[in-house]
Amino acid sequence: MSMVALPPLRRVRPPWDALRRMFAVDMCAISAVLLATAPAIGALYKWTDANGRVIYSDQPPPGNVKVETINAPPPPANPNAVKDLANKEVELQKKKLVRAEDDAKTNKARVDANLRLQECQRARGQQIALGQSDQIVFYTTNPQGERVAMDDAARLAERQRLDYWIRQNCQNIPNT
């Protein structure tokens, strides 16, 4: 019986091992950034001067004065940052309002186009029905509200009225 030499086994690392190493590197980077910015976060001092005015400063007062230390975020680098932010907010609100108005106009135009299409289809259907057969009796209402059968002259007048209305209102609407 001959023995076959097997290659040495390689150690297979689990997939979470790489994640653990990446997390350690990220935590080191975050810690370094925090340590570097720590001196930039200064204290704010509050005291009352001899005239009774309350004074706030980033430097402690000279002399022997009772001082209260306030930990506050540093002021923004740009003195007009608040005003700029307010202006940007106003511009954003204007853009939203304009977009909403445009959307409303678009929706209204779409609804109007659908209504116009339906009216044109209805008028064309009536026009076809009036012209197809003399055997069908059509009715209309008189000024008193009574139903009256249409004679040939009334049919012709109604068909001419529909032709005119379709020419005026359905020029760009395809026949469906």
Structure confidence by residue, pLDDT tens digits, 113-126: 899 999 989 988 88
4 CB burial (10 A radius; 0-12, 13-18, 19+):
exposed
- In sign, the C-alpha dihedral spanning 81, 87, 93, 96 is negative
Say what the pLDDT of residue 9 is.
Answer: 62
Find tokens 């009574």 and name the residue.
146
The answer to whether the beta carbons of residues 139 and 150 sit under 8 Å apart is yes
Which stretches of the chain drop beneath a pLDDT of 50?
Answer: 1, 38-40
The answer to whether the beta carbons of residues 47 and 67 sit under 8 Å apart is yes
Say what the pLDDT of residue 65 is.
Answer: 80
Say what the pLDDT of residue 41 is.
Answer: 54
Q: How far is CA 60 from CA 55, 81, 93, 119, in A?
A: 10, 26, 43, 81
| 70 three-class SS | strand
pTM: 0.44
81 CB burial (10 A radius; 0-12, 13-18, 19+):
exposed
